[in-house]
């Protein structure tokens, strides 16, 4: 609508706030030159051929070289934009691209030899959801049996070490194990009264960004436990680094994630080490970027590698041998591989909590599950089998739409004024009129104790950085009827050309996510297709039982706790053991973080058009 002829200057707050306003104040570092001629402009700005700006004093215009000063370029970093929710979409997409596979390749190409003091140890950690996406992509492009996560992991490991030059390759499931242990510990603290319930999961950076920007009142409910990515950063730079005799700044740590927002998470100031000027995670690349690197290097992930069906036991930890030599053996760097946490492919936070509660309950408990709306919003209730009393009420809540309803429910149950919106709180809105029921009965208790929150529908296996479904699935052609090379599976399908196929495309996207989900849970290795390669491999190799692997992870977790927190007295035998205050402080420092509300009061008057 056009403004009326009688345009008034009152109530400028009603002007439409431009969504691209940048409120970051640029600090003035140039000294002010005292004015000489009051009437004339004191300085003028010149631009040279390189694009640099110069301030030239008018007092002596003939002597250019003597009086002109190069002005400092104003820079806005990714962290500055994280502090503002104004133009976050476009700025984030530009700055996110600065963390790219090109950055990784540049680092590896320029890393000095390992005998140099400035050499950095390159380490890469891979999320299991990324492995599932790669596995689904391989399985859909070949006639072979579906490949397991372990097979994909070994092939990726071979690529990273032989082709890219990484010295250490890990998956993030052991870090997730630590995160789950600390998560459960934090929940118990809150249950005792130290903190608010429901506790909401904090592993999803998309969810964290959203809460910090628009629902700051939800922050007290967010778990402070670090995400598996950041726990992995702590493990690599603090714990493994000390084993290698390296400082955090002497390690370059890359993670492979299903999600672009993990790049933002890695860039948070909370995960920056001021002492060593380094981050827990130096660079995050997505599943798609890793696959792109493989294509650029002509590496076929469909080709089996030697030993991909073997379980690699962490030898050094089974026997608890002490290493008097002090030299870091390779065996000592191994972590338990691909630990399976029953529950969800997004991390099993809710199910781990349920298992812990059931395990520690003195009486028998029963579990009921109810789908609130499709599989992306489910409620889980634990109750006493004898009395029916409810002892725990949790939910799994995925997708932006379900988050809206969750925020409203949590806010309503806690009596918190929900949301202020990007445009500020609506002042003066009167509270809801409480309508008493005719029979005066209270509403049934429906408050949650815990919610596993993920921003993507379907969870992390459907993250934005995952591989897209192959084109033939969208065309409706059966994978048996038409073969296509796996390396073009990332080609984007142009839906605009065929509006009539919107429904099939929508179907295949959802079906593809199911394939990735299935690949995620296939932890049983299968024999390779080629008889020749099979002959070369060891026969009869047995998988390490899931229970044994978890038990091994428990022991290693206690060891990590002892070696990073330095408790007085006896070393903890379990993660749940209490230590002295200084050690507990270190535990919080290494495995917890914090969140910050982002203010975005963009006033119309301050906007420069």
Residues at the site binding other proteins, with contacts judged by CB under 8 A: 1-5, 13-14, 16-17, 19, 214, 374, 399-402, 404-405, 408, 418-430, 432-433, 435, 457, 499-500, 502-503, 506, 510
Q: Which residues pair with 200 in a beta bridge?
A: 222, 451
Run of H or E residues at 126: strand 121-126
Task: Label residue 298 left, alpha or beta by phi (over 0 means left) and psi (-120 to 50 means alpha).
Answer: left
Q: How near is the Cβ of 162 to other proteins at its closest, in Å?
A: 42
Give the strand pairing for 199-200 and 450-454. parallel
What gap in Å lies between CA 203 and CA 476, rounded to an integer?
36
* CA 92 from centroid of its chain's CA atoms: 15
Q: How near is the Cβ of 23 to other proteins at its closest, in Å?
A: 16
Name the residue nearer to other proteins (CB basis): 140 or 513: 513
Name the residue nearer to other proteins (CB basis): 81 or 236: 81
Name the residue nearer to other proteins (CB basis): 315 or 510: 510
Q: How near is the Cβ of 430 to other proteins at its closest, in Å?
A: 5
Name the residue nearer to other proteins (CB basis): 339 or 410: 410
- The token pair at 579 is 């230590």
Name the residue nearer to other proteins (CB basis): 12 or 74: 12
Q: How near is the Cβ of 516 to other proteins at its closest, in Å?
A: 17
Q: How near is the Cβ of 443 to other proteins at its closest, in Å?
A: 10
What gap in Å lies between CA 600 and CA 609, rounded to an integer?
18
Taking the alpha carbons of 239, 245, 246, 252 in that order, is the dihedral positive or negative? negative
- The token pair at 461 is 């296996």
Name the residue nearer to other proteins (CB basis): 52 or 498: 498
Q: How near is the Cβ of 403 to other proteins at its closest, in Å?
A: 8
Name the residue nearer to other proteins (CB basis): 407 or 558: 407
Name the residue nearer to other proteins (CB basis): 506 or 589: 506
Residue with tokens 């009393």: 389
Name the residue nearer to other proteins (CB basis): 443 or 524: 443
Residue with tokens 């608890």: 320
- The token pair at 250 is 């002497």
Computed on alpha carbons and rounded to an integer, the radius of gyration of the chain in Å comes to 28
Q: How near is the Cβ of 396 to other proteins at its closest, in Å?
A: 17
Q: How near is the Cβ of 75 to other proteins at its closest, in Å?
A: 27
The answer to whether residues 215 and 416 touch, using CB atoms and an 8 Å cutoff, is no
Residue with tokens 């436990």: 225
Name the residue nearer to other proteins (CB basis): 398 or 472: 398
The answer to whether residues 23 and 47 touch, using CB atoms and an 8 Å cutoff, is no
Q: What is the DSSP string of 431-496?
A: PPPPPPPTT-PPPPP---SEEEEESSTT-GGG-TTSPPPPHHHHHT--TTT----GGGTTPPP-GG
Name the residue nearer to other proteins (CB basis): 386 or 423: 423
Name the residue nearer to other proteins (CB basis): 498 or 594: 498
Half-sphere exposure of 105 (CA within 13 A, CB side): 11
Q: How near is the Cβ of 227 to other proteins at its closest, in Å?
A: 24
For the chain, what is the total number of helices (H) and then of strands (E)? Answer: 20, 14
Question: 530 φ, ψ to 5°?
Answer: -80, 125
What gap in Å lies between CA 30 and CA 418, rounded to an integer?
44
Q: How near is the Cβ of 5 to other proteins at its closest, in Å?
A: 6
Burial class (CB in 10 A: 0-12, 13-18, 19+), 4: exposed
Name the residue nearer to other proteins (CB basis): 362 or 499: 499
Q: How near is the Cβ of 405 to other proteins at its closest, in Å?
A: 5
Q: How near is the Cβ of 347 to other proteins at its closest, in Å?
A: 23
What gap in Å lies between CA 47 and CA 68, rounded to an integer?
11
Using DSSP's 3-state secondary structure scheme, residue 536 falls into helix
Q: How near is the Cβ of 429 to other proteins at its closest, in Å?
A: 4
Run of H or E residues at 256: strand 251-257
* CA 71 from centroid of its chain's CA atoms: 38
Name the residue nearer to other proteins (CB basis): 511 or 580: 511
- The token pair at 494 is 């142009």
Q: How near is the Cβ of 214 to other proteins at its closest, in Å?
A: 7
Q: How near is the Cβ of 424 to other proteins at its closest, in Å?
A: 6
Around Cβ 477, how many Cβ atoms within 10 Å? 14
Name the residue nearer to other proteins (CB basis): 372 or 518: 372
* CA 364 from centroid of its chain's CA atoms: 36
- The token pair at 480 is 């048996």
Is the omega angle on the peptide bond into residue 16 within 30 degrees of 0, that is, cis? no
What gap in Å lies between CA 160 and CA 294, rounded to an integer?
9
The answer to whether residues 201 and 153 touch, using CB atoms and an 8 Å cutoff, is no
């Amino acid at each position: 609508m056009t403004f009326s002829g009688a345009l008034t200057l009152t109530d400028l707050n009603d002007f439409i706030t431009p969504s691209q306003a940048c409120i970051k104040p640029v600090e003035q570092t140039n000294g002010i030159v005292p004015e000489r001629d009051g009437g004339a402009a004191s300085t003028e700005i010149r631009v040279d051929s390189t694009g640099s700006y110069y301030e030239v004093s008018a007092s002596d215009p003939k002597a250019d070289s003597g009086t002109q000063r190069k002005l400092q370029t104003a820079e806005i970093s990714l962290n500055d934009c994280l502090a503002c929710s104004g133009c976050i979409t476009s700025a984030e997409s530009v700055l996110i691209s600065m963390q790219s596979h090109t950055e990784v390749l540049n680092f590896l190409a320029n890393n000095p030899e390992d005998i140099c003091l400035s050499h950095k140890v390159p380490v890469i950690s891979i999320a299991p959801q990324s492995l599932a996406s790669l596995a689904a992509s391989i399985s859909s492009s070949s006639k072979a049996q579906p490949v397991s996560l372990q097979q994909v992991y070994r092939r990726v490991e071979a690529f990273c070490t032989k082709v890219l030059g990484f010295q250490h390759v890990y998956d993030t499931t052991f870090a997730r194990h630590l995160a789950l242990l600390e998560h459960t510990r934090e929940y118990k603290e809150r249950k005792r009264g130290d903190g608010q319930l429901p506790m909401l999961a904090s592993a999803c950076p998309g969810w964290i960004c959203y809460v910090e920007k628009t629902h700051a009142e939800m922050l007290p409910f967010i778990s402070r436990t670090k995400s598996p990515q950041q726990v992995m950063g702590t493990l690599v730079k603090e714990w493994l680094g000390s084993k290698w005799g390296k400082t955090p700044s002497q390690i370059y740590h890359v993670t492979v994630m299903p999600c672009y927002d993990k790049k933002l998470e890695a860039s948070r100031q909370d995960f920056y080490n001021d002492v060593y000027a380094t981050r827990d995670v130096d660079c995050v690349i997505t599943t798609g970027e890793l696959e792109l690197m493989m294509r650029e290097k002509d590496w076929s992930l469909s080709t089996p590698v030697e030993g991909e069906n073997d379980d690699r036991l962490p030898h050094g930890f089974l026997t608890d041998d002490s290493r008097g030599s002090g030299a870091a053996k390779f065996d000592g760097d191994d972590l338990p591989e691909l630990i399976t946490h029953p529950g969800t492919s997004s991390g099993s936070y809710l199910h781990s909590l349920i298992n812990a509660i059931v395990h520690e309950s003195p009486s028998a408990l029963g579990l009921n599950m109810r789908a609130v709306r499709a599989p992306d919003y489910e409620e889980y209730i634990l109750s006493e089998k004898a009395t029916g009393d409810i002892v725990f009420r949790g939910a799994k809540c995925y997708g932006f739409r379900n988050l809206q309803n969750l925020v409203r429910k949590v806010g309503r149950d806690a009596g918190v004024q929900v949301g202020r919106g990007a445009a500020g709180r609506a002042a003066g809105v009167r509270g809801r009129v409480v309508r008493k029921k005719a029979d005066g009965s209270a509403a049934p208790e429906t408050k949650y104790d815990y919610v596993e929150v993920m921003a993507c529908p379907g969870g992390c296996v459907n993250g934005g950085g995952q591989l897209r479904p192959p084109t033939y699935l969208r065309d409706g052609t059966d994978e048996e009827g038409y073969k296509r090379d796996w390396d073009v599976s990332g080609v984007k399908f142009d839906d605009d050309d065929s509006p009539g196929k919107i429904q099939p495309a929508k179907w295949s996207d959802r079906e593809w996510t199911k394939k990735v989900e299935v690949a995620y849970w296939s932890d049983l290795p299968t024999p390779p297709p080629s008889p020749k390669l099979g002959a070369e491999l060891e026969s009869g190799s047995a998988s390490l039982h899931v229970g044994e692997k978890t038990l091994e992870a428990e022991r290693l977790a206690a060891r990590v706790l002892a070696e990073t927190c330095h408790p007085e007295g006896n070393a903890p035998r379990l993660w749940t053991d209490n230590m002295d205050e200084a050690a507990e402080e270190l535990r919080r420092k290494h495995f917890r973080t914090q969140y910050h509300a982002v203010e975005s009061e963009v006033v119309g008057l301050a906007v420069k058009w």
